[in-house]
């Protein structure tokens, strides 16, 4: 049985960092100064108690999913097939600016789709600046499919209006709303809280965390949030780029010479910039200032819509990660890269199982922020 727990330090000698560093196999959901929220098995909870930590059960996993989600809620979110259908419809209705491309195949053979949004130029595209939007590396993060899809739809329908028209004259935006289709389908049919892809591991476990499998500083950490244990939710994989879903993104970035990256996750209402693998700041002062400034402006733009606070900060300030998307797209490709953790702020408001009534306001508050970042990359000569 898995349970959602709130972990606290009961003595001064204990730290919350030790919970993150310990190789307990916890599925960490939230990190705060005075507590951690995680999905844990009962033996893991007992181990934490033996270490001296306070462990409060917040909900059983099944009860939590039932509380916030049902079949009607699932129908309001995209499946892999309905996403393909809607992306295809956009490309067919707007062929002058939209083209659907299969960028790779998943472990189980599902296509990974990306919509290219830009003025058609035939095959002559030298000098075109490309911005990349990604969603749903983690299977259970259904909202992280919807926001990039709605962004793609907005860009297509606003292609004749300023400032989008000017951006698409000199550049293009690629949007891949579902990087992990196998895992996503598994959350719809078997386990709503599943995180990884569906790679069969040699030890009989299943799954690699796609957002720990990128090549930059891959495998340099071995902690709860970047684990080398195949059974763990954050398993980094046997080697960098071992997963076809991640290779699909890698090959797209190389082929299109991507100049900016926005990748969506949920939840926690954060705007994260590199690095994740170290607490040290990005050494290039100009790059650091650019990503920090964009993140802070996105924070302001989001707050102005519905009053929600998304906090901009360095990724490692949340928790350490090695081999994540933004570290790789910036560290290896010099592309300014930001990660958005969408609604809600905490598990008590639904966490990964967000009611579909929250899709539209989440999109509304993120629209101008996303357009600001795109404009910073595509709007410059």
- Kindly give the pairing relationship between strand 270-273 and strand 171-176: unpaired
| Cβ contacts of 85 within 8 Å, gap of 6 or more | none
pLDDT in tens, 157-171: 999 999 999 999 989
Confidence tier at 291 by pLDDT (50, 70, 90):
very high
- Average pLDDT of the residues in 212-226: 95
Confidence tier at 366 by pLDDT (50, 70, 90):
very high
Strand partners, 115: 100, 175
Confidence tier at 127 by pLDDT (50, 70, 90):
low
Distance CA 262, CA 318 (A): 18
Residue 311 predicted with pLDDT over 70: yes
Residue 106 predicted with pLDDT over 60: yes
Confidence tier at 381 by pLDDT (50, 70, 90):
low
- Least confident window among 116-130, 132-146, 164-178: 116-130
pLDDT in tens, 56-103: 999 999 999 998 877 778 899 999 999 999 999 999 999 999 999 999
| Cβ contacts of 252 within 8 Å, gap of 6 or more | 103, 104, 114, 132, 174, 176, 258
- pLDDT computed for residue 97 by the predictor: 96
Residue 18 predicted with pLDDT over 80: yes
In the chain, where are the structural domains located?
Answer: 2-68, 71-188+234-378
- pLDDT computed for residue 44 by the predictor: 94
- Average pLDDT of the residues in 178-199: 97
| Cβ contacts of 212 within 8 Å, gap of 6 or more | 218, 226, 234, 235, 236, 237, 321, 322, 323, 324
- Least confident window among 13-17, 142-146, 162-166, 351-355: 13-17
- Average pLDDT of the residues in 212-224: 95
Residue 380 predicted with pLDDT over 80: no
The overall average pLDDT reported for the chain is 95
- pLDDT computed for residue 125 by the predictor: 57
Q: Which two tokens stand for residue 249?
A: 């993104």
Which one is the CATH code of 71-188+234-378: 3.40.390.10, 2.30.40.10, 3.30.110.40, 3.40.630.10? 3.40.630.10
- pLDDT computed for residue 122 by the predictor: 56
Cis status of the peptide bond prior to 213, with omega within 30 of 0: no
Q: What size, in residues, is the chain?
A: 381
Confidence tier at 356 by pLDDT (50, 70, 90):
very high
Confidence tier at 124 by pLDDT (50, 70, 90):
low
Confidence tier at 147 by pLDDT (50, 70, 90):
very high
Which one is the CATH code of 2-68: 3.30.70, 3.40.1440, 3.40.50, 3.40.190? 3.30.70
pLDDT in tens, 29-67: 999 989 999 999 999 999 999 999 999 999 999 999 998
What residues act catalytically? 341
């Amino acid at each position: 049985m898995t349970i959602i727990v709130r972990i606290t330090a009961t003595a001064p000698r204990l730290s919350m960092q030790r919970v993150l560093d310990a190789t307990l196999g916890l599925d960490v959901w939230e990190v705060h100064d005075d507590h951690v929220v995680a999905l844990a098995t009962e033996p893991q909870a007992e181990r934490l108690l033996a270490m001296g930590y306070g462990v409060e059960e917040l909900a059983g996993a099944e009860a939590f999913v039932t509380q916030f989600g049902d079949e009607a809620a699932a129908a309001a979110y995209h499946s892999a097939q309905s996403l393909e259908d809607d992306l295809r419809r956009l490309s067919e209705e707007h062929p002058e600016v939209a083209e659907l491309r299969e960028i790779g195949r998943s472990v189980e053979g599902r296509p990974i789709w990306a919509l290219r949004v830009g003025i058609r130029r035939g095959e002559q595209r030298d000098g075109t600046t490309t911005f990349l939007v990604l969603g749903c590396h983690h299977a259970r993060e259904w909202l992280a499919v919807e926001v990039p899809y709605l962004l793609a739809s907005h860009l297509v329908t606003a292609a004749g209006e300023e400032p989008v028209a000017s951006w698409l004259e000199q550049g293009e935006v690629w949007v891949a709303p579902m990087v992990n289709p196998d895992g996503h389908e598994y959350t719809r049919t078997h386990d709503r809280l599943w995180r990884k892809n569906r790679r069969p591991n040699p030890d009989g476990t299943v799954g690699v965390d796609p957002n720990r499998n990128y090549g930059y500083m891959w495998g340099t950490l071995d902690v709860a949030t970047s684990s080398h244990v195949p059974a763990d939710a954050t398993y980094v994989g046997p080697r960098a780029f071992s997963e076809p879903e991640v290779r699909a993104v890698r090959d797209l970035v190389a082929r299109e010479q991507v100049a900016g990256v926005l990748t969506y996750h949920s939840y926690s209402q954060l705007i994260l910039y590199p690095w994740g693998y170290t607490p040290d700041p990005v050494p290039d002062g100009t790059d650091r200032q650019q990503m920090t400034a964009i993140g802070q402006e996105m924070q302001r733009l989001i707050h102005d819509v519905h009053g929600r606070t998304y906090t901009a900060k360095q990724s490692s300030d949340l928790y350490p990660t090695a081999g994540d998307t933004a570290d790789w797209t910036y560290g290896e490709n010099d592309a300014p890269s930001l990660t958005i953790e969408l609604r809600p702020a905490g598990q008590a408001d639904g966490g990964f199982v967000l009611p579909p009534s929250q899709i539209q306001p989440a999109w509304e508050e993120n629209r101008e922020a996303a357009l600001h970042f795109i404009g910073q990359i595509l709007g410059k000569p």
